[in-house]
């Protein structure tokens, strides 16, 4: 036991060091964990006792990961992901898997490994994409919402595949009683669904209402629930895997009011075990077969980085979306998923594939995680470079996106971003007394503004077409409430070229960004926490505390009511 503790300590310390390095390089932490496993496994650090223990802990990591996924899925909200996400998601899965299977066969793989490879290349990483879109403040953009919807469709398909795989016992291929296995799987699944649905509707809410009074009790009950369901589901009566049990346990709790509390308390535990899973996965890399798989790995990586995004782009173009939206959405799909690694991990465990396929998919993951992270972060720059070559992605008459028409304007105000701070500025400026044009990339925000007869354009101000529609060349004042430094610099450069007389006010989150924006030519840079402090200090300095009630009432009337 002492040796295992020491080995886990070394794993965590090495993983932490690599995680710091990869954070500096703006790469996902998953890469740090896989690299840790590769190094430790290559130097033979694991004892046989530790390997068995770590494999068990790795399974717990997958179980908790799927538990959290189930916890975050709201079944009643699935219809709201929209027709676009559903069509793009399903067509992308179908076309990508067929292309990947055909490519795998051409590269010399037999049928069963080719199936696993095609499945692995089909899915994209929800964790990485959501993190990168969140960092870019693009989660609420049109392309961000479509991308997240497509990823949700992929996750649901991945879960179905994992459920199917979990019904197999260890063997070298597919059972001859294939149809019987499928029917038995569906029968057991229906029984399980009925049991979980009953518990989640009638029993769990009452139990959680009682246990939620103590955070420790809630955490302990959540652990007991996920492990208990996982044990039941993986028993000989049901025959599924413990990982699927984790997903079902999370799905059962997703409709409860305490699901956010549970997710917050379980996240750290999940992160710890998932580190061990990716370390174990990296340690299984077989470098003796590297020479034989290096060419297929490079070809398949290029497929994921180029062809897979192109499939999404062309699908959205056919549905009538602008080339910019199609390009940005497709670019988010340029990597494989953590589910891809879980699928091949399970495939090896049940004997369908060997370690060389796991190594191949893992290397494809490392390559695509690395390049796609930089590609998504530099999406604006890449789009500007390729824009003139992307005409084939857009129909002549685009109909899926309505930018808007504001008529001819002169000496007007352009407000970029009407959420939070932008909304406050909009009401303070009074759009009835001033010619104000609002530009926002959130379709819901734009629709609400149009209902109030406020001139508004749907799109991203970094897009040249949107700049022309907003008539920046005629504006007297441009206010940007978006916090993306790159977009604000693009805006300043555009105004410098189009309209030097216009004043520009932008937002920065710290002094470093503010200095850069002033250097680029901003007339005034607002740093929110400094501006908020000055506003409060002015009220307190005047020693007229009676104003607080009036300000409070005004906020409730305008924003909070």
472 burial via Cβ count (<10 Å: 0-12, 13-18, 19+): buried
* Residue 238 in this model has a pLDDT that exceeds 80: no
The answer to the question of residue 426 being in a domain is yes
Q: Which of 454, 105, 459, 500 is nearest to 296 (CA)?
A: 105
Mean pLDDT across 473-498: 84
- Claim to verify: residue 209 and residue 259 sit in the same structural domain: yes
What pLDDT, on a 0 to 100 scale, did the predictor assign at position 79?
A: 57
Boundary (domain end) residue, out of 338, 358, 392:
392
Q: How many domains does one find in the chain? A: 2
In a domain, 545, yes or no: no
44 to each of 7, 11, 276, 358, how far by Cα in Å?
A: 12, 13, 16, 19
405, part of any domain: no
Say yes or no to pLDDT of 541 above 70.
no
- Is 167 a domain residue? yes
Q: Do 432 and 294 share a structural domain?
A: no
Can you tell me whether residue 478 is helix, strand or coil? strand
pLDDT in tens, 408-447: 888 888 888 877 777 778 877 765 566 888 888 777 788 8
**Residue 533 confidence (pLDDT) above 80:** no
Rounded to 10 deg, the angle between the 323-331 and 142-166 helix axes is 40
Question: Do 138 and 9 reside in the same domain of the chain?
Answer: yes
Residues 380 and 426 in one domain: no
Quick one: pLDDT band at residue 180, thresholds 50, 70, 90? low
Alpha-carbon 446 to chain mean position: 24
Q: Are residues 265 and 356 in the same domain?
A: yes
DSSP character at residue 141: S
What CATH number is associated with residue 459? 3.40.50.720
Decide: helix, strand or coil at residue 503.
strand
Q: Is 558 a member of any domain?
A: no
More confident residue, 254 or 433: 254
Note the residue count of the chain.
561
Is 497 contained in some domain?
yes
Give percent of the chain above pLDDT 70.
85
Helix (H) or strand (E) holding 289: none
Here the tokens at position 255 are: 């409709």
Are 425 and 384 in a shared domain? no
CA 337, CA 142: separation in Å to the nearest integer? Answer: 22
22-69, pLDDT tens digit by residue? Answer: 888 888 888 888 888 888 877 777 666 777 788 788 888 888 888 887
Q: Does the pLDDT value for residue 559 go beyond 60? A: no
pLDDT, position 46: 67
Helix 178-198 with 242-253: angle, nearest 10 deg: 30
User: Considering the domain boundaries, does residue 550 fall inside one?
Assistant: no
Q: Do 421 and 285 fall within a single domain?
A: no
Q: Looking at the structure, do residues 372 and 497 belong to the same domain, yes or no?
A: no
- Residue 559 inside a domain? The answer is no
DSSP class of residue 110?
A: -
CATH number at residue 131: 1.20.1530.20
- Identify the CA nearest to 229 among candidates 259, 193, 271, 187: 193
Pick the most confident of 85-94, 127-136, 162-171. 85-94
Q: Which domain holds residue 503?
A: 413-526
What does the pLDDT read at residue 298? 94
Q: Which of 392, 423, 455 is the last residue of a domain?
A: 392
Which tokens belong to 271? Answer: 């992160």
The answer to whether residues 158 and 257 belong to one domain is yes
Q: Is residue 65 within 8 Å of 338, Cβ to Cβ?
A: yes
Does one domain contain both 347 and 232? Answer: yes
> Residue 93: what pLDDT?
94
Higher pLDDT, 547 or 203: 203
Q: Residue 124: what pLDDT? A: 93
Both 383 and 428 in one domain: the answer is: no
pTM (2 d.p.): 0.74
Question: Residues 158-167: pLDDT tens digits?
Answer: 878 877 776 6
Are residues 449 and 355 both part of a single domain? no
């Amino acid at each position: 036991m002492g040796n295992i503790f020491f080995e886990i300590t070394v794993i965590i310390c090495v993983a932490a060091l690599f995680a710091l390095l990869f954070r500096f390089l703006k790469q996902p932490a998953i890469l740090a964990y896989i690299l840790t496993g590769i190094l430790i496994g290559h130097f033979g650090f694991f004892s046989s006792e530790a390997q068995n223990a770590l494999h068990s802990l790795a399974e717990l990591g997958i179980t908790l990961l799927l538990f959290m996924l189930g916890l975050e899925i709201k079944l009643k909200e699935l219809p709201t992901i929209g027709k676009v996400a559903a069509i793009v998601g399903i067509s992308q899965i179908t076309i990508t898997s067929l292309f990947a299977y055909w490519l795998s066969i051409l590269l010399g793989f037999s049928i069963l490994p080719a199936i696993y490879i095609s499945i692995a290349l089909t899915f994209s990483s929800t964790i990485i994409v959501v993190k990168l879109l969140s960092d870019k403040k693009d989660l609420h953009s049109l392309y961000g919402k479509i991308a997240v919807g497509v990823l949700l469709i992929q996750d649901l398909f991945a879960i179905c595949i994992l459920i199917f795989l979990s019904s197999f016992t260890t063997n070298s291929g597919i059972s001859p009683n294939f149809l019987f296995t499928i029917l038995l799987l569906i029968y057991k699944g229906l029984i399980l669904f009925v049991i979980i649905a009953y518990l989640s509707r009638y029993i769990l809410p009452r139990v959680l209402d009682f246990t939620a009074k103590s955070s420790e009790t809630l955490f302990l009950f959540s652990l007991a629930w996920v492990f208990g369901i996982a044990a039941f589901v993986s028993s000989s009566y049901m025959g599924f895997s413990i990982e699927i049990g984790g997903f079902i346990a999370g799905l059962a709790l997703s409709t409860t009011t305490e699901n956010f509390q549970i997710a917050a308390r379980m996240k750290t535990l999940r992160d710890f075990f998932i580190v061990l899973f990716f370390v174990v996965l990296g340690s299984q890399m077989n470098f003796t077969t590297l020479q034989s798989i290096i060419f297929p790995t490079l070809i398949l990586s290029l497929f994921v980085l180029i062809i897979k995004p192109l499939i999404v782009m062309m699908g959205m173009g056919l549905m009538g979306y602008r080339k910019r939206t199609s390009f940005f959405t497709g670019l988010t799909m340029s990597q494989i998923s953590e589910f891809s690694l879980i699928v091949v991990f399970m495939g090896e465990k049940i004997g369908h594939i060997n370690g060389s396929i796991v190594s191949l998919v893992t290397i494809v993951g490392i390559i695509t995680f690395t390049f796609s992270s930089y590609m998504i972060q530099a999406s604006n720059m890449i789009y500007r470079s390729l824009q003139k070559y992307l005409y084939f992605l857009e129909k002549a008459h685009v109909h899926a996106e309505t930018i808007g028409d504001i008529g001819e304007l002169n000496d007007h105000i352009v407000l970029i971003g009407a959420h939070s701070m932008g909304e406050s500025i909009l009401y303070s400026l009074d759009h009835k007394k001033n010619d104000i044009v609002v530009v926002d990339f959130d379709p819901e925000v734009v629709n609400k503004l149009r209902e109030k007869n406020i001139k508004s354009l749907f799109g991203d101000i970094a897009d040249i077409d949107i700049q022309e529609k907003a008539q920046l060349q005629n504006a007297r004042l441009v206010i940007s409430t978006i916090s993306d430094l790159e977009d604000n610099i693009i805006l300043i450069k555009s105004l410098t070229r189009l309209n030097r007389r216009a004043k520009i006010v932008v937002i920065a989150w710290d002094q470093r960004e503010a200095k850069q924006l002033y250097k680029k030519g901003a007339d005034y840079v607002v740093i929110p926490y400094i501006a908020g402090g000055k506003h409060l200090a002015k009220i307190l300095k005047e020693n007229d505390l009676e104003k607080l009630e009036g300000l409070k009432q005004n906020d409730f009337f305008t924003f909070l009511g």
